[in-house]
Amino acid sequence: MDELDSAIVRLLQTDARQSNRELARQLGIAPSTCLERVRALTRRGVIRGYHADIDPVALNRGVQAMVSVQVRPLSREVINTFKTSAAEMPEVLSVFVLAGGDDFLLHVAVRDLDHLHAFLLDRLSKRKEIVGFRTSVVFQQVQKAAPSRLP
Amino acid sequence: MDELDSAIVRLLQTDARQSNRELARQLGIAPSTCLERVRALTRRGVIRGYHADIDPVALNRGVQAMVSVQVRPLSREVINTFKTSAAEMPEVLSVFVLAGGDDFLLHVAVRDLDHLHAFLLDRLSKRKEIVGFRTSVVFQQVQKAAPSRLP
DNA sequence: CATGGTGGCGAATTTTATGCCGTTCCAGTC
DNA sequence: GACTGGAACGGCATAAAATTCGCCACCATG
């Protein structure tokens, strides 16, 4: 993971679809070298994949919310069960298992507020292990295009 | 945004680097048709870009936390200022502006707990508009590879 | 029944990926 | 100073892919 690797990763985070030639050109190295570097990064698991970034509205997900959830009892089994169930719900983008006051944080994205309400009442509340949850609607989200490597 | 567009989007979310031919093959359409569809989706802003998914540890970001923040006064100016400042901090992956008890939620990723502590005390606490914040360390994260289009 | 627009198709052309290999450069070692 | 291993380079050949473009089927419309 030298300076060149970092630069490759940075460029691929910004645009994963540029050709190997273009990548090499921007880095000032030979395409063959660049290709081998990218492969090595993939082999080592540094590059885990490539994903398209899609407009949420086109996916009927114009409304986002963060839902913090408390479950009981706090056993490994209950945690795992809830984590898996939550992750399988189509409205849920990601599940965070937390240390602290809340046990989970769910990042959800739905079509509209009606859908959010329905999700909370009809799907989430149905789960017996939940002893409380709190929902915060997301007004805006600023997302970093490419998190850089920290020093 | 017909059924075919949805399928294209789904496949590109899963693997943005597969060739246009492979994409077309999986969809049962001609490569030229597929290319035109992808371009149209890009023109319409449905596809916003392509990003490499990088192992956080390789970026010195093995520890994640969610930090909920309250600021005062709740003016448009203070909100915007804090939002921008937070987004510019390298430790911050994304900033959510929330409705409800908390005003912001920061998703941060740092090298280790020492770094997290330093970030909270030396960078975040320095901001005068903050009247309180609460940090939850992330034990695990389950992230959906490809959020599907909701019905 | 024309007719114009849309979307799709597939052949042709250009560009890229990929593997291979001899050469060069550099750093560390003797 | 000579040697050596590793990394990068650059050229080349082949395969694969991207991109272009003319043509056709379909369909709603007048």
Q: If you ran DSSP here, which 8-state letter would residue B38 be given?
A: H
Q: How far is the CA of B43 from the C1' of C12 (A)?
A: 27
Residue B65 lies in a domain: yes
Residue A88 lies in a domain: yes
A90 burial (CB, 10 Å; 0-12 / 13-18 / 19+) is middle
Cβ pair B49:A48 closer than 8 A: no
Among B61, B58, B40, B42, which residue's Cα sits nearest to residue B50? B42
Residue B77 and residue B126 in one domain: yes
Residue A76 and residue A110 in one domain: yes
Question: Where would I find the H helices in chain B?
Answer: 3-14, 20-27, 31-43, 76-88, 113-118
Residue A65 and residue A110 in one domain: yes
Contact at 8 Å (CB) between B65 and A99?
A: no
Range of the domain at B63: 59-138
Digit-coded pLDDT (tens) for A77-88: 999 999 999 999
Residue B119 lies in a domain: yes
Q: Which two tokens stand for residue A117?
A: 């309400």
Structurally, chain A folds into a number of domains equal to: 2
* Confidence at residue B60, expressed as pLDDT on a 0 to 100 scale: 94
Cβ pair A95:B142 closer than 8 A: yes
Residue A37 and residue A99 in one domain: no
Residue B63 and residue B133 in one domain: yes
Q: What is the CATH number of the domain that holds A23?
A: 1.10.10.10
- The sign of the CA dihedral B2, B7, B12, B14 is positive
Assess whether B22 (CB) lies less than 7 A from strand D.
yes
Assess whether B32 (CB) lies less than 7 A from strand D.
yes
Residue A143 lies in a domain: no
Q: Establish, for the pair of chains A and B, how many residue pairs have beta carbons separated by less than 8 Å.
A: 208
CA distance B77 to B80: 5
φ/ψ of A111, rounded to 5, equals -65, -50
With cut-offs at 50, 70 and 90, classify the pLDDT of residue B8: very high
Residue B38 and residue B66 in one domain: no
- Averaged pLDDT for residues B73-79: 97
Contact at 8 Å (CB) between B8 and B23?
A: yes
Residue A126 and residue A71 in one domain: yes
Residue A82 lies in a domain: yes
From the list B14, B49, B138, the residue facing A98 with the nearest CB is: B138
Q: What is the CATH number of the domain that holds B132?
A: 3.30.70.920
Digit-coded pLDDT (tens) for B105-137: 999 999 999 999 999 999 999 999 999 999 999
- Averaged pLDDT for residues A63-88: 97
Q: How far is the CA of B60 from the C1' of C18 (A)?
A: 32
Nucleotides of chain C in contact with protein CB (under 7 A) are: 7-11, 15-21
Assess whether A32 (CB) lies less than 7 A from strand C.
yes
CA distance A15 to A7: 12
